[in-house]
Homo-oligomer: A and B are copies of this chain.
């Protein structure tokens, strides 16, 4: 009989091998996802993991707007082809009742299974999509439980999501390495997004103001003047700004000189809401 006192020794003794990488997605995959899946598949090969899993699941619990959920693009055939090309070995495409089999799908029950401590960290997005990150935490924790990945990959384009997932994984002490994937852009600088397809040609042209604003921010030494410069670029392109800020890259709270900063923009062009961000500061 072995006496074990640390979680690390316990996991080694139990010998449950985590044999896969994981990329959770909501489908409508584009080159940004393809890049993440290639990164994950490469990681699986390099670490001799047996599988590279991609999930495609439009998680209802992270939508605070039913219309937004209904019109979320579904392109399954193209998604499967992209996953295959990018080296995935398993694509998991569950119905809602497979993911949440015993939980009634109403608001109250959904709230009950989330982690408020994690989900309500005062991220910027909470003011605009209350409950969004609660739903994200719920589904990612559930998918981690199902897939048991050694490493999971999240794009930097949703910078706040990446930090929320890192925080959740740390608080719950889950043995999953969280690895970021760089933002993939169109040739002209627009960050890839499943929503770009909904932009009119005029909106598409105006939306370039986002990457232009991020570049402009990097030319300013003070975070206040960088924020002012971003707002100016965005407004002159007709954007409705949800936020255009410089924040602490990790906590997303007020920027502190000497720590890594992040320039973060969420803005709407017509009805289409777009996100982007970049490193800011020394």
Contacts and interface: CB of A to CB of B under 8 A. Distances in A.
A127 interface: no
Interface string A168-187: 00111110000000000000
A174 B113 CA distance: 13
Nearest to A6: B98
Contact of A3 (B2, B80, B172): B80
B51 A93 contact: no
Given A18-B16, A90-B4, A92-B4, A10 B147 contact: yes
Contact of A7 (B13, B98, B113): B98
A57 to B, nearest CB: 10
A94 B6 CA distance: 6
A34 interface: no
A193 B1 CA distance: 25
Chain A, interface SS category: mixed
Copies of this chain in its oligomeric complex: 2
Interface in A125-165: 145-148
A102 B2 contact: no
B173 A95 contact: no
A15 B84 contact: no
A88 interface: yes
Is the interface on chain A under 10, 10 to 19, 20 to 34, or 35 or more residues? 35 or more
B93 A4 contact: yes
B89 A2 contact: yes
A46 interface: no
Contact of A83 (B1, B53, B88, B109): B1
A50 interface: yes
Contacts of A91: 1-4
30 contacts: A1-B83, A1-B89, A1-B90, A1-B91, A3-B91, A4-B90, A4-B92, A4-B93, A5-B95, A5-B98, A7-B94, A7-B98, A7-B99, A7-B101, A10-B90, A10-B94, A10-B146, A10-B147, A13-B51, A14-B19, A14-B51, A16-B16, A102-B170, A102-B171, A103-B171, A112-B116, A113-B115, A113-B117, A113-B171, A145-B172
